[in-house]
Every structure is written in structure tokens, then in C-alpha cells.
């Protein structure tokens, strides 16, 4: 299978051979299929199925369909959120309002939970999402805040602060305005994650497993004081469930 995770900004893809997931490839999609992705796909063995998660919009979905039909005569299968599946029960009353990428991350987290721990999933992308999952598969709900770039851009749009060209690299606070904005965005997401993990631990009486994923996950690593597991391909793993 060719598996695709189409986000708001990036397209991730990998090949699943029936036993394991191959290396993850990432490209910015710009509402189309980038040329470097097309070139890479020309060298692939023909897949038997193409399964995709899409929160990036109709334009990129249509572009994907044209490409896969031209290359392999296959239409992509776009998955959609279900209220209950593979032991996971989502908190939303209307499943269609719960992002399919968040749902797939829940599935992947639930099926691979060797310590049966309550889990907080932090997906740091264009938006940063936080989802809380009990060991029995019950989803408690979650939060959404602007991602790093969106948080910074919205602040810069309403001020005279110059554009940020640095990364804080674990900085707790700063002695420069530009650095303060950069560090503030990172610390805000990490602090919210750790607050949610603490509340979940208090409510369950168990040690919480924090899973970190998304394109901006590497930029958040140094800001966490609690242990976490970084899983680059969490949504793609959900497509295999």
C-alpha cells in the first residue's frame, strides 16, 4: 500500500509492505503534488492500494487522484473519522467534525500501548492539537491552538516586531524581543501539553504517556521537562490499523 498523510502544509507518504511501514518522506504540497514527489513515485513498484488521510483540502485531493490514476490506474481511498473503531471511541458527538488525522493518531496510539497507559497526543503542525486517550480506548476530547508559525505570524501582524529568524533551542526566556516571541511560542505549546498531562495523571492515577508528532515536533523537543515519545509517522501508522 501507498499511504499518504495530507496535512494543511505538508504531505507525508510511505509504503507499507504488509508487515511494516517504510521510511517516511515529507514535502510541502502547496495544494498540488510536488515535482520531487512525482519523481520519487516514478520509481515505486505499482501499489495495490492507495490509502490517504486528508485535511489539506479538495484541491490537493483532486491532484492526488489525477496523479494516481495516471501512474497506476488507481483512485486513492480517503479514510474518514468513525465514532468507534478498533477499540477507540471518540468524544465528539459528530464524528465528521473531528479531524481524520487526529482520529488516526488515536488509533495508532491505542493499538500500540504496551504499558496500557493513558495517553496525551501532541501533534505540532500548522495547528497544534492535543488529544487525551484512556487506556481502554475512550477519547476524552482535546484542544487546538495555533501552531508555532501561526502563533508567531499572528503576533507579528499586529505589532512592529521584526520577523523571527531564530529558533530558541530550549530557551525558557529571552533578553531580546524577537527571541522572546520565538521562545514564547515554543514554551506555550510545551507548557500546555505538560499541564494537560498532569491533569490526566491526576484524574486517572496513572503515569501518562506523551506522544509527540507533527512537522514541528523537533522544534519542541528541548522545551519538554516531562518524558515523551516522538513518533514521526503516527498518522501513517493509523492508516494501517
The residues assigned a catalytic role are 101
* Binding-site residue ranges for ATP: 5-12, 126
Binding-site annotation: residue ranges: 5-12, 92, 99-102, 123, 126, 177
Give, in order, the Cα–Cα distances in Å from 62 to each of 6, 36, 96, 148, 221.
12, 18, 20, 28, 35
| Residues making up the binding site for substrate | 92, 99-102, 177
CA 26 to chain centre: 12
The answer to whether the beta carbons of residues 51 and 3 sit under 8 Å apart is yes
Amino acid at each position: 500500500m501507498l499511504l499518504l498523510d495530507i496535512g494543511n502544509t505538508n504531505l507525508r507518504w510511505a509504503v507499507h509492505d504488509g508487515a511494516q511501514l517504510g521510511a517516511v518522506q515529507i514535502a510541502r504540497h502547496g495544494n498540488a503534488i510536488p515535482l520531487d514527489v512525482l519523481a520519487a513515485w516514478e520509481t515505486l513498484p505499482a501499489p495495490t492500494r492507495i490509502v490517504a488521510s486528508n485535511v489539506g483540502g479538495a484541491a490537493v485531493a483532486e491532484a492526488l487522484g489525477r496523479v494516481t490514476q495516471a501512474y497506476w490506474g488507481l483512485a486513492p481511498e480517503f479514510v474518514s473519522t468513525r465514532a468507534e473503531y478498533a477499540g477507540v471511541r471518540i468524544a465528539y458527538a459528530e464524528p465528521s467534525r473531528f479531524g481524520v488525522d487526529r482520529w488516526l493518531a488515536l488509533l495508532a496510539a491505542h493499538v500500540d500501548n504496551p504499558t496500557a497507559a493513558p495517553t496525551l497526543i501532541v501533534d505540532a503542525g500548522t495547528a497544534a492539537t492535543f488529544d487525551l486517550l484512556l487506556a481502554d480506548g475512550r477519547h476524552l476530547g482535546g484542544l487546538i491552538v495555533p501552531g508555532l508559525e501561526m502563533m508567531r505570524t499572528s503576533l507579528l501582524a499586529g505589532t512592529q516586531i521584526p520577523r523571527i529568524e531564530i529558533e530558541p533551542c530550549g530557551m525558557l526566556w529571552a533578553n531580546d524581543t524577537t527571541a522572546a516571541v520565538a521562545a514564547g511560542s515554543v514554551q506555550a505549546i510545551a507548557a500546555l501539553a505538560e499541564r494537560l498531562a498532569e491533569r490526566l495523571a491526576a484524574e486517572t492515577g496513572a503515569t501518562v504517556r506523551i506522544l509527540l508528532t507533527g512537522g514541528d515536533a523537533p522544534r519542541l523537543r528541548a522545551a519538554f521537562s516531562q518524558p515523551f515519545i516522538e513518533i514521526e509517522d503516527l498518522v501513517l501508522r493509523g492508516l494501517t490499523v
